Amino acid sequence: TPAAASGDEGLFSGAVLFIYLLCPLNILSLLFVTAPYGKHSRAGWGPIISPAIAWFLMESPTLWLPLLLLPAGRHSSNPIALFILCLFFVHYIHRTLIYPLRLRRLRRPAGSIASGFPLSVAAIAFVFNFLNAYVQTRSVSHYSDYGGRQWRAGVSTAARVAIGLSIFIWGMAVNIRSDLALVKLKAEGGRGYKIPRGGWFEAVSCPNYMGEVAEWLGWAVVAWSPAALGFFFFTASNLVPRARSHHKWYVDKFGEDYPTSRKAILPFVF
Ligand code: NDP
């Protein structure tokens, strides 16, 4: 009915707006309180679960919710919509299924950095992923206008999609390679964290975060929607402050041994 349709539209617009509003709140709170997992783990955040289980559970809405929502979209069989959603899935199949399997294989000898993951942090991430999966799926499969100017067949559309896709693929490659290098370092480093070396680690402390931010920038360039742009801003608002905290942590821990030319997340700049 028209009333139900306008209710759905109101819910969707409100959720997109909420993602934008979360960005400044996120930056502000992360400047004062670093999310308490990994290097920044500390007591007082409630029960702890294994990082592999945490990543699997908290990222899982990005796989099952789109599958549930897609059939209800007016573009559910539009090839452009399916292509954009496929990119989202490629990222989240890795993050939800493959990455936790890699973490699970880590051996944890006595005295190792077998840090756990607070259930409270995983629960917050679950809620965000649920919201974001709803927003991105509905945007791509229902509310985007593939008959509009930004999708008109022609050189400018092809160029935009090619540029966005290249940034997305580059970001994903850097993200996965850097995460792999870190997990390998963790597996080797029985007695604690080490200074990561090689590749993009020579330029920044957190190339995995740099790659992730680039991925969602590229995806937003391809999808060209307020929802996708909001997710890019949200990812940056989350990972830039955390990269700053990681960078400071490395400098504090390793002092003069830590390469001074290394920035936090953006080579030569920040
Ligand atoms: P980290 O870089 O903090 O850690 C990744 C893994 O490497 C962890 O297992 C960590 O162990 C280990 N590790 C990190 N540094 C070292 C070191 N110097 N020596 C040995 N081992 C190390 O990444 P996150 O856990 O924060 O994030 C994982 C992935 O999730 C990333 O790809 C990130 O981009 C993505 N992500 C995306 C977000 C978004 O908003 N889209 C939000 C958060 C993460 P330990 O856990 O013990 O520190």
Q: What percent of the chain has pLDDT above 90?
A: 89
Of 128, 111, 125, 118, residue with least CA distance to 51: 118
**For residue 246, what pLDDT is reported?**
98
Atom of ligand 1 nearest to the CA of 216: 41
What are the sequence ranges of the domains in the chain?
Answer: 2-257
**For residue 111, what pLDDT is reported?**
47
Query: Cα(93)–Cα(123) distance, rounded to whole angstroms?
Result: 20
**Spacing, Cα 142 to ligand 1 middle (Å):** 34
Q: What confidence category does residue 197 fall into, taking pLDDT thresholds of 50, 70 and 90?
A: very high
**For residue 105, what pLDDT is reported?**
78
Helix, strand, coil content of the chain in percent (nearest 5): 75, 0, 25
Query: Cα(127)–Cα(177) distance, rounded to whole angstroms?
Result: 27
- Pick the residue whose CA is nearest to atom 21 on ligand 1: 186
- Pick the residue whose CA is nearest to atom 15 on ligand 1: 182
- Averaged pLDDT, 41-69: 95
Q: What is the pLDDT of residues 173-183, one digit of tens each?
A: 999 999 999 99
Atom of ligand 1 nearest to the CA of 196: 18
Residue 2 DSSP SS3? helix
- Pick the residue whose CA is nearest to atom 33 on ligand 1: 209
**Spacing, Cα 38 to ligand 1 middle (Å):** 7
**For residue 7, what pLDDT is reported?**
85
**For residue 112, what pLDDT is reported?**
46
Of 202, 221, 224, 201, residue with least CA distance to 213: 221
For ligand 1, which residues put their CB under 6 angstroms from it? 38-39, 51, 103, 113, 115, 175, 179, 182-183, 185-186, 189, 193-194, 196, 208-209, 212, 235, 238-239
**For residue 108, what pLDDT is reported?**
58
> 234 pLDDT exceeds 70?
yes
Residue 118 DSSP SS3? strand
**How confident is the prediction for the chain on average, in pLDDT?**
94
**Spacing, Cα 111 to ligand 1 middle (Å):** 20
Residue 1 DSSP SS3? coil
